[in-house]
Amino acid sequence: MPIAGAPLSSSPGRESGPGAGPAVFRCRRFALPLGGQALVVGVVNVTPDSFSDGGRYLDPGAACDRAHALAAEGAAVVEVGGESTRPGARPVPAAEELARVLPVIRRLVRELAVPVAVDTWKPAVAEAVLDAGADLLNDVTALCHGPALAEAAARGGAGLVLMHMRGTPETMQAAPTYGDVVAEVRDALAAAAARAEAAGVAPDAIAVDPGLGFGKTARHNLELLRRLDALCALGRPVMIGASRKAFLGAVLEAPLDDRLEGTLAAGAAALLKGAALIRVHEVRPMVRVARVLAAIARGAP
């Protein structure tokens, strides 16, 4: 079985070499090892309307069961989301988002042996889930709402994923344009990571994500994957979330429930370019792909 995350006390806590990124991704109670097998992040959306699993895990018991299943399949992180960010989605009030996620977070931080992440951009939600024990925040706006969320992460010693988005979920797919999408996303993520550090987040607690499908056409997404090494050169752990997204549907001419191979191919391509974290809805197949890639890299089973 893959190592899901070492407790903080056993972390190496060192840099892996000059110019290289950190050796671990620090997420409060955990220090996830980088540079070995990829870390697969399993997603559970506690929403009525998420594009892929909306409505399936609204009941806290069903969400926790799903989270346990993902951890048993080898997820290194389990992420809970209480607001859909699919194209066209409207924000839900913080109180509604908290009512969805808090009962799930409270249980999972006690029951799981891996970090519990929360997908939120709202500082009030971030504060509350950190109070409840969450280890990692995933901000799909990369601190576009000011430093409060990063300050909360810093106070709690939590990890922070900064994802690039052009516009908002309501507007982002209305003809997004870039000069050089890779350079613009890289520069925006570098600036966001600097803002997070200025707010007090430890350098080894920050990861970045180009935000596939968030204000990007299929061509932009494919270009970002093809040239992902340019983002990895930032020296931060890179997360990729291609799972079941529309650009895979465009390539495969396949509906939402028939995009597994596309998800795995995109994940494998990202790993070969240096990504550290792969965010998926189906954990087991992605973990198996990551295991084989890791074995090829070390030249031994």
Q: Which is nearer to ligand HH2, 137 or 199 (CB)?
A: 137
Residue 274 main-chain phi, psi, to 5 deg: 115, 5
45 binds ligand HH2 (CB under 6 A): yes
Among 23, 28, 42, 47, binds ligand HH2 (CB under 6 A): 47
Query: d(Cα 87, Cα 249) in Å, to the nearest integer?
Result: 15
CB of 263 to ligand HH2, least distance (A): 11
158 binds ligand HH2 (CB under 6 A): no
Active-site residue among 245, 273, 284, 298?
A: 245
Q: Which of 39, 207, 52 is nearest to 115 (CA)?
A: 39
239 binds ligand HH2 (CB under 6 A): yes
83: left (phi over 0), alpha (psi -120 to 50) or beta: beta
Q: Which of 126, 165, 158 is nearest to 144 (CA)?
A: 165
Q: Is 166 a catalytic residue?
A: no
The H or E element spanning position 56 is none
* Cβ-contact 133, 105 below 8 angstroms: yes
Query: d(Cα 2, Cα 50) in Å, to the nearest integer?
Result: 29
Q: Which is nearer to ligand HH2, 84 or 217 (CB)?
A: 84
Q: Which is nearer to ligand HH2, 28 or 259 (CB)?
A: 259
CB of 17 to ligand HH2, least distance (A): 27
Among 57, 80, 100, 119, binds ligand HH2 (CB under 6 A): 119
Q: Which of 251, 183, 173, 249 is nearest to 213 (CA)?
A: 173
Q: Is 279 a catalytic residue?
A: yes
**Binding pattern for the stretch 135-154 against ligand HH2, x by CB under 6 A and - elsewhere:** ---x-x--------------
Query: d(Cα 195, Cα 193) in Å, to the nearest integer?
Result: 5
Active site residues: 245, 279
Interaction site with ligand HH2 (CB under 6 A) = 43, 45, 47, 50-52, 81, 84-86, 119, 138, 140, 161, 163, 209, 211-212, 239, 241, 279
